[in-house]
Amino acid sequence: LCSKYHVAHFINTHTPLRNAYNLYSAMKNAFTELTQYYVVEKNINFVNLTIEYIYGEKDDNTKFVPFLIESIIKGKQFKATSGEQQRDFIYVQDVVKAYMNVISNIKKIKGYKEFSIGTGKTISLKALSHKIENIIGRKSLVQWGSIPYKKTEIFLSKADISKAQKELKW
C-alpha cells in the first residue's frame, strides 16, 4: 500500500522479542524482513523502532508493571518465576519523544534504519518489585520461584540506545 499510495516513509513499532518467543514476535520479525524488499525495490524509507518494555499512565494490568503495582496495593498473591529476568523499562512519555525525534528527522532518513528505544539500563523483575514495595510502603505477596521459567524465556532485554542518541539526538 505504501508503494501504491506513494508513501515515502514508514515508521514501524517493533518488539525486542525473538521469533521463537510467540506468534506475535514471529510475525513482527517476519514483517521487518519483508519490508527490506520494499525499501530496495520500491524506494520506501523504513524506520524500525524496537521498543523495550513501556510503562505509564492508563496502562492496563495485563502488563507486568501495572499488574505488580495493583497486586501490591490490593494485597493479591500470585505465583512467579524466580524473577531474575532483566528488563529495560521505559516510561511512555520518553517513547513519545523518540517518535517525535524520528518524525522531526524523517527527511534525513533514507533506506532501512533501525533504532532501539529504551533506557539502556536494566533491572530484574524481582528488584523492580522491591522498589515498588518501598515506594508503596507495603510488601508484595509474590511467590518468587513458584513457577518454572519458560523454554523461550528471555533473561536479558536491554536497548542499545547509542544509535538513537547519535542519529536522532534522542
Quote the CA–CA distance of 66 and 24 in Å, as a whole number.
21
Q: For residue 94, give the nearest of 56, 67, 41 by alpha carbon.
A: 56
24 catalytic per annotation: yes
Contact by Cβ (8 Å): 155, 121: no
Quote the CA–CA distance of 59 and 38 in Å, as a whole number.
34
Quote the CA–CA distance of 46 and 106 in Å, as a whole number.
10
**Of residues 5, 21, 24, 53, which has the active-site annotation?**
24
C-alpha cell at 53: 518494555
Active site residues: 24
